[in-house]
Amino acid sequence: MASWSVPKPFDAVIAVTYRCNARCQMCNIWQVKDHDDCQPQHYRNIPNTLRHINISGGEPFLRVDLPEIVRVVAERNPTAHILVSSNGFQPSRTVEAVRKMMGYHNKLGVGISIDGIGAKHDGSSRGSSLRRRRTTSLPTRARSCCLWFRSN
């Protein structure tokens, strides 16, 4: 009988919530009403072979315990690059959470999803007029913005 093994995963996208403060036309995740978010300790069960982890959702920064989730994921995969994907609607909350997360992991990034500049980005595709004020400091030709942070 032939023997074979299943390769160990090295990439993962982890949706930590279905809640979202945007109403994007291309995504209906915000319409999911009946769900429970996993508790941070549940993430101790993810594989420890991951090299690239995208923490996504919904909007991950709506979770007050996001820094704790990142801590658990980073403890499980200390050499992995961790990217938190966001819509960027809550810059103050994001900065506060990233400061905490930097204490837990030194290969951390935040990806901000944008559709375009000005009216294209502010249009109905995201379902909110808050967009223009929130993204005015982003690069003018970017389709997405990804910031990587490293602690000393």
DSSP the chain: -----PPPP-EEEEE--S--S---TT--GGG--S--PPPGGGGGGS-S--SEEEEESS-GGG-TTHHHHHHHHHHHSTT-EEEEEE--S-HHHHHHHHHHHHTT-SSEEEEEE---STHHHHSTTTT-TTHHHHHTTS-TT-SEEEEEE---
Is the model's pLDDT at 151 over the cut of 60? no
**Shortest CA distance to 135 belongs to which of 121, 123, 147, 148?**
121
Is the model's pLDDT at 58 over the cut of 90? yes
Q: What's residue 34's pLDDT?
A: 85
Is the model's pLDDT at 132 over the cut of 50? no
Q: What is the residue extent of each domain of the chain?
A: 11-149
> What average pLDDT does the segment 26-32 reach?
85
pLDDT band at 144 (very low <50, low <70, confident <90, very high): very low
Q: In this predicted model, which residue has the larger pLDDT, 117 or 42? A: 42
State in words which class domain 11-149 has: alpha beta
